[in-house]
Amino acid sequence: MANTAEATGKEDFEALLMESFESREPLEGTVVKGTIVAIEKDVAVVDVGLKTEGRIPMKEFGAAGRDGTLQEGSEVEVYVDRIENALGEAVLSREKARREESWARLEKQYEKNEKVEGQIFNQVKGGFTVDLDGAVAFLPRSQVDIRPIRDITPLMNVPQPFQILKMDKRRGNIVVSRRTILEESRAEQRSELVQQLEEGQVVDGVVKNITDYGAFVDLGGIDGLLHVTDMAWRRVNHPTEVLSIGETVKVQIIRINQESHRISLGMKQLQADPWEGIEAKYPVGTKFTGRVTNITDYGAFVELEPGIEGLIHISEMSWTKKNVHPGKIVSTSQEVEVMVLEVDPEKRRISLGLKQCMDNPWESFAERFPIGGEVEGEVKNKTEFGLFVGMDGDVDGMVHLSDLDWNRPGEEALEDYDRGDIVKAKVLDIDVEKERISLGIKQLSGDPMESAAGGLKKGAVVTCTVSEVKDGGIEVKLAESGLTAFIKRADLSRERSEQRPDRFAPGEKLDARVVQFDKKTRRVGLSIKALEIAEEKEAVKQYGSTDSGASLGDILGAALKDRTQAAEEAEAKTQEAEDAKTEQAKTEDAEAKPAKSTKKVKTAKTDEAADEEEAKQADETAEKPKKATRAKKATSEEGEEAEEGEPAKKPAKATKSAKTAKTTKTAKTAKTAKTSTAKSDEAKSDEAESDEAEKQD
């Protein structure tokens, strides 16, 4: 029975234990209350009603764990991470419990955009960590204060308000800002202070910060900007020349922006304006002495008196140094004498001139070297449009390309000069206002065009030497004057087949007719074609007259016909003499024959004379179309020449080469006619001999 009772008791305990486990909700992952049963060094032993207690480090209890407020028997809320670990102990965490509580509370405050309390307790990369009553948040360095703070020690472990900017529970990330809280409070203060300030009001302030462009002045809770240009009427290179940090100054409120709450301040407005009556103090044309205060790329500023500065533009610094930096002419703090050129009180500008206080070298040059005088100088620069020659007085003159040589192109003549060469030139023009001097090198020698003007005129015949052969014509040089001219392809000959530049060679001499001569444009026009036409017109004068109504072809044809007829008559006489001898011989042979034979011989002679007359008429008939063709061609070429505007009034002397060509052509025509006549006579003689032989048979 005892054993039975003992077994029953065990079953009842087991059932009760299992019932208690089943009725209790799962504790893992929840926050429960526990009791501290013991404190061992830096660990607190907490009982939460499980089989075993759990151990929690004292540092998880925060300030309570450091100051000793936790004691045995104190109740705390802990987070049950695991009921039992490998050592049989419960795994508890006070930090996770506080975090869970804080996250729930912070989410509600974040949704309502409320401020939260926290303490900065550690510094990390890029910012600081903040304890928000159990939840750890990140405070970026840019969100600590409105202005950058070098030392943050006074803010460490001090309870202060923060604004939650971002929350991410899944990642356990919270971002807070202290700057937002400060800006809100500052905006409220600034709004109140701005309402109390007015433009034009004079207030006292303390210099808080100095920058390159000005200084920030504290007006009692709100800052105003004192720009460097509003510190004094004179030029201030840096605010530190006038102010220092912590200095109390009296300033005037210039402008207030109600929207951005920005305030502009000024100090020079409290002083008298030195620009009042500036025109009377500094009249135009007067000279003053000033100090160079600043040098820029475009000029230099000169202080005439405190608060009054004028600008010397780079173009007004030197008469001769044009492309030089102002720093090479004047230096800072240098005392210089200047002349007032212009005063503008509205824009507060004074234009000054430095070179006006010096002698003008251009006027001195004009007095020493009048136009037409000769000068000598060094070639300072060589450009694509000419030479710059340096002369006495540091003045430069320019020799244009067109003033280098009379005959050669400017680009070709420019190659003869280099920088540093000493050259002589003649003064062509001087412009003192524009500071320009025009020089000429070719003017030192006479103009060949002027010397050639007496011998050259339109219609004259000149002898030339071929200097260059080109596709479009030939370039020649006149023997007497040395001028160059270009004969176009169309002017090389009257015959199109002879208008070939390649039939000429460099160095060959030829005659041509002057068809154009212009001194202004320095152009000489020559034409071989015009010369040939003039020679033909000369032939017209010798062989015919234009008043007769005959064309040029008819006159030339008549001249050729006369020569041909003369040659034919001479040939006919020779042939007749030979025929007479032959007849005489035949007559002697035939005297012994009957009278009948004599009659036949007479008939043969009569027939032979008739045949000879018919052959002569046939030759004249064949010659007429040829003459007509030559006359038509000559008339056509004469018409073309008239259209081209070639001079035809005055005949010119034929050149030796043209006369030779014409004589050769006439001789060829006469020889051809003579040959034709000889062949005709020979044929007639053969026919006569054949008839005589038949009669004898």
pLDDT attached to residue 566: 61
- What kind of architecture, by CATH, is found in domain 448-543? Beta Barrel (2.40)
- Which position has the higher pLDDT, 668 or 464? 464
Q: What are phi and psi of 127, to 5 degrees?
A: 170, -145
- Sign of the C-alpha dihedral computed for residues 142, 143, 147 and 151 taken in this order: negative
The answer to whether 523 and 458 are in contact (CB under 8 A) is no
Q: What is the pLDDT of residues 82-100, one digit of tens each?
A: 776 767 677 777 777 777 7
| Residue given tokens 């067109």 in the structure block | 402
pLDDT attached to residue 17: 61
Range scoring the smallest mean pLDDT among 6-20, 64-78, 298-312: 6-20
Confidence at 59, pLDDT banded by 50, 70, 90: confident
Query: Which residues, listed in sequence order, are joined to residue 486 by a DSSP beta bridge?
Result: 475
Rounded Cα gap, residues 177 and 144, in angstroms: 7
H-helix segments, 358-463: 361-368, 410-414, 448-452
Q: In what order do the strands lie in the sheet with 523-527?
A: 484-488, 473-478, 461-470, 509-518, 523-527
Cβ count near 125 (within 10 Å): 5
Task: For residues 668-680, give the mean pLDDT.
Answer: 41
Would you state the torsion angle of the CA atoms of residues 572, 578, 580, 581, taken in this order, to the nearest 10 degrees? 170
Rounded Cα gap, residues 416 and 106, in angstroms: 93
Orientation of helix 595-643 relative to helix 656-696, angle to 10°? 160
Q: Does residue 202 carry a pLDDT above 50?
A: yes
Task: For residues 604-619, give the mean pLDDT.
Answer: 48
Locate 95 and state its tokens: 């930090």
Cβ count near 21 (within 10 Å): 8
The answer to whether 249 and 243 are in contact (CB under 8 A) is yes
Range scoring the smallest mean pLDDT among 16-20, 134-138, 201-205, 630-634: 630-634
pLDDT attached to residue 50: 74
- Which position has the higher pLDDT, 258 or 227? 227
pLDDT attached to residue 140: 92
pLDDT attached to residue 290: 92
Confidence at 65, pLDDT banded by 50, 70, 90: low
pLDDT attached to residue 666: 40
- What kind of architecture, by CATH, is found in domain 278-357? Beta Barrel (2.40)
User: Considering only the top CATH level, what class is 113-182?
Assistant: mainly beta
Q: What is the pLDDT of residues 147-188, one digit of tens each?
A: 788 888 888 888 899 999 988 878 878 999 999 888 888 777
Locate 267 and state its tokens: 């100090």
Rounded Cα gap, residues 216 and 243, in angstroms: 11
Confidence at 659, pLDDT banded by 50, 70, 90: very low
Task: For residues 670-676, give the mean pLDDT.
Answer: 41
Q: What is the pLDDT of residues 477-519, one digit of tens each?
A: 887 666 788 888 888 888 888 888 888 999 888 888 888 877 6
Strand, helix or coil for residue 63: helix
pLDDT attached to residue 676: 41
3-state percent helix, strand, coil for the chain, nearest multiple of 5: 40, 30, 30
> Would you say the pTM of this structure is higher than 0.75?
no
Question: What percent of the chain is modeled with pLDDT above 70?
Answer: 70
CATH no. of 361-444:
2.40.50.140
User: Which of 489, 499, 487 has its CA nearest to residue 462?
Assistant: 487
Cβ count near 448 (within 10 Å): 16
Rounded Cα gap, residues 138 and 131, in angstroms: 9
| Residue given tokens 């200095």 in the structure block | 247
pLDDT attached to residue 500: 87
Rounded Cα gap, residues 289 and 302, in angstroms: 9
286: left (phi over 0), alpha (psi -120 to 50) or beta: beta
pLDDT attached to residue 341: 93
| Nearby residues of 72 by Cβ (< 8 Å), 6 or more positions away | 36, 37, 38, 39
Mean pLDDT across the chain, nearest whole number? 75
- Which position has the higher pLDDT, 683 or 482? 482
pLDDT attached to residue 291: 92
Rounded Cα gap, residues 212 and 695, in angstroms: 143
Please tell me which of 195-199, 275-279, 300-304, 361-365 the model is most confident about, judged by mean pLDDT. 300-304
The answer to whether 414 and 450 are in contact (CB under 8 A) is no
Rounded Cα gap, residues 33 and 619, in angstroms: 156
Q: How many helices (H) and strands (E) does the chain have?
A: 12, 30
What is the distance, to the nearest Å, from the Cα of residue 468 to the centroid of all Cα atoms in its chain?
Answer: 39
Rounded Cα gap, residues 120 and 574, in angstroms: 149
Delimit the domains of the chain by residue range: 28-112, 113-182, 197-270, 278-357, 361-444, 448-543, 546-696
Confidence at 352, pLDDT banded by 50, 70, 90: very high
Q: Does residue 269 carry a pLDDT above 70?
A: yes
Range scoring the smallest mean pLDDT among 35-49, 362-376, 524-538: 35-49
Give the strand pairing for 248-257 and 262-266.
antiparallel
Residue 32: C-alpha distances to residues 70, 93, 181, 569 (Å): 18, 11, 36, 161
* CA angle, residues 319, 320, 321, in degrees to nearest 5: 110
Please tell me which of 295-299, 393-397, 550-554 the model is most confident about, judged by mean pLDDT. 295-299
* CA angle, residues 510, 513, 519, in degrees to nearest 5: 115
Range scoring the smallest mean pLDDT among 302-311, 390-399, 646-655: 646-655
pLDDT attached to residue 461: 85
Locate 451 and state its tokens: 């010397």
Q: What are phi and psi of 77, to 5 degrees?
A: -95, 130
| Nearby residues of 466 by Cβ (< 8 Å), 6 or more positions away | 474, 475, 476, 504, 505, 506, 507, 508, 509, 510
DSSP 156: B
Amino acid identity of residue 32, one-letter, is V
CATH no. of 28-112:
2.40.50.140
User: Considering only the top CATH level, what class is 197-270?
Assistant: mainly beta
Strand, helix or coil for residue 610: helix
| CATH topology identical between 278-357 and 448-543 | yes
Q: Does residue 644 carry a pLDDT above 50?
A: no
